[in-house]
Amino acid sequence: MLLESEGEAVCTHCAKHEEEDTKTSMNEKYALAGLSSVTWVVAILVELLWQNQLIVYSLSIAAILVAGRWIIPRGLRGAAKIHLDINFLMTFAAFAALIIGAPLEGAAAMYLFFIANLLEDRASAQVRNDIQGLLELAPQMITLKTSSGLVEVPVESGQMGEVFVVKPGDRIGLDGIVVSGTTSVNQSPITGESVPVSKQVGDTVYAGTINMDGSVEIEVTHLSSETVLSRIVSLVDEARSKRSPTEKLVSRISHRYTPMVVLASAAMVVVTFAFGFTLQDAVYRGLTLLVTSCPCAFVISIPVSMVSSIAGSARSGVLVKGSEYIEALSKSSVVAFDKTGTLTEGVLQVENITQANGATREEVLHIAGSLEQYSEHPISRAVTQLAEIERVTLGTVDSFQAIAGRGVTGEIGGDKVVAGNRGLMQEKGIDIPDNDTQKAGTNVYVAKNGNHVGTIRLMDSVRHTARRAIQDLSAMGIRSVMLTGDNEATAVHVAKILQVDEYHADLLPHEKVEAVESITDEGTHLFVGDGINDAPAMAASDVSVAMGVIGSDLALETADVALMEDDLEKIPILIQQAQKTMSIVKQNIAVSIGIKAAVAILAIAGLATLWLAVGVGDMGVSLLVIANALRLAMRR
């Protein structure tokens, strides 16, 4: 197994297999483990009962060759390239033990190292299975609705626009839109939230989720290879190859460490022999130190922990794009939130309409609605929905222009009209009331031919998980910052409800970026937004977190961390998980170094055997760090 670090191959006990290994089934490895176990045990019995050295040697060599089926060739290839990895160390130790008259211990070195490799493979396979298990949540077959009736076909056969039927209790096979029926769906395989979500005609459903109540007909919107579930699996799999700064550092250390171990072991042989020990004893001590000092558990301690954490998070509806972000999250000191759609529901409703300069309510709504009908902004949707409810006829707008972060302008029937914020009105030289900025809410000022004719005030409700998330972050010693383009009064109103530590109001998109950059010096910071409108601010942050991305392809692909649902309480949980991961990494490093150091001291003193070096110093500590790391893969 080779671990690549900046173009160089480093210690191999903890990383990707070579190509031939990936093609080898676990069953074949289990068979070899069984055969080498039997051979080794029989050799021990022969030594204890009959002391027949010829048979002992023969069985020991057989055990070494069987257990070293892949280890020996890799070690020899590494030596040929002057790359002395752990495979070479174990190969050298096993055959050197044969030469100095310790065949059983040479066999033990190779056998136990092979078992340690097997256990590591099993742990890696478990994490891979956890990831692939997500994909397997989607059923293999779907029931298509055709002109000749219902037909069961493989999910891979489902095409865009086709309609399939899902009965109560069945899993949904493909992403799609409900075209008939109503039901509730358990989306926990993707979002981690088991509370069923109501679905009716026009709503989106996702592959792998569970239809709870009614029978529904669903129109396919994504092929099986393009569903949200399949993209999650693909992105998590890619995340396994993105390594944190600590991983890269340990890999570089390991690359230089192995040759030093070889030199130290050789020096041990020379010094011990010089002090009057026999050559056999000197070589034995050198081999024991060699095996004890191999860096396998030290190196494996980090990637196993990181991959386990990524897999565990994915199963809880949180997609982390790489271990570098886990390490950054663990150091979080500030979390910046976009307000609209993140801390608030993002569903604006018209709170009040005031008129000015003799205009009527209908005229104000007519102008604003006519302009806003060309925009998809939440403010626009709220205004046009009210115009529809009040049966206000909307006009045709000429010379329409949308001004980012400010509003819209145009002409209706020859009249020049404007709808936007205070900054746009000031830019156009239009006088508006000064006292509006003292009131909470988002104000849309409406003007005609240079005169202010009315103000539409909109309000947005605070997201129910926001305050608890802010409180949890505060309890962790992490500051919260709210960024918004709304006016000061609205920002103060929301900031007081949520008790954020700091807020910035009246921000244009580029000013949000400046605000994010201004907190960079305070430590590692996160920016939490919707992943689309907040893209510039996300790019400027140390770690970008997009929430509610289950239906957003762009946010799912671009964010460093993606929350499948709109649950802000997962932010502090995510940071705690990252801190726990780095804590386990440190534990594993400390344990592996500590145990190896203790066994190395015993080896230097001549009190350790090859059995102890491999069984405790290598296999034992590797088992320990793997078991500790796999706790992170448990679903929270």
Instruction: Please name the helix (run of DSSP H) or strand (run of DSSP E) that holds residue 212, with its range, or none.
Output: none
CATH number of 141-226: 2.70.150.10
- Helices 86-99 and 103-135, axial angle in degrees (round to 10): 150
Task: Give the number of other CB atoms < 10 A from CB of residue 579.
Answer: 16
The three-state secondary structure class of 491 is helix
Smallest CA-to-CA distance from 475 within 484, 485, 467, 483 is with 467
* Strand order across the beta sheet in which 543-547 lies: 318-320, 561-563, 543-547, 524-529, 332-338, 479-483, 502-504
Cβ 105 vs Cβ 97: under 8 Å: yes
**46: its two tokens:** 């022969």
CA dist 147 and 216 (Å) reads: 17
What is the mean pLDDT for each group of 10 consecutive residues in the chain (636 residues)?
33 38 63 86 86 89 90 85 75 82 81 76 63 64 89 90 92 92 82 73 89 91 84 64 64 68 85 87 83 70 78 80 86 90 82 91 94 83 91 91 86 93 90 71 90 90 90 94 84 91 84 80 77 69 81 64 86 92 89 85 81 75 81 66
- Domain(s) labelled CATH 3.40.1110.10 in the chain stretch across 349-459
CA dist 321 and 538 (Å) reads: 14
At residue 434, the pLDDT reads: 73
- Domain(s) labelled CATH 3.40.50.1000 in the chain stretch across 318-339+462-564
Alpha helices in 541-620 (DSSP H): 553-558, 570-604, 610-614
At residue 306, the pLDDT reads: 82
Q: How many CA atoms lie within 13 A of 125 on its CB side?
A: 13
Determine how β-strand 216-220 pairs with β-strand 163-166. Answer: antiparallel
At residue 344, the pLDDT reads: 86
CA-atom Rg of the chain in angstroms: 33
At residue 66, the pLDDT reads: 92
CA dist 322 and 297 (Å) reads: 21
CA dist 290 and 263 (Å) reads: 9
Find the distance separating the first CA and the last CA of the chain, reported in whole Å: 31
At residue 4, the pLDDT reads: 34
* Strand order across the beta sheet in which 197-199 lies: 197-199, 183-186, 210-211
Q: Please give the angle made by the CA atoms of 587, 591 and 593, to the nearest 5 degrees.
A: 120
Does the reported pTM lie above 0.75? Answer: no
338 carries an active-site annotation: yes
Q: Which residues contact 45 (CB under 8 A, 6 or more apart)?
A: none
* Catalytic hit among 85, 130, 338, 534: 338
At residue 23, the pLDDT reads: 41
In the chain, what are the helix, strand and coil shares in percent, each to the nearest 5? 55, 20, 25
CATH number of 318-339+462-564: 3.40.50.1000
CA dist 268 and 270 (Å) reads: 6
Which fold, 349-459? Calcium-transporting ATPase, cytoplasmic domain N (3.40.1110)
- Domain(s) labelled CATH 2.70.150.10 in the chain stretch across 141-226
CA dist 150 and 143 (Å) reads: 6
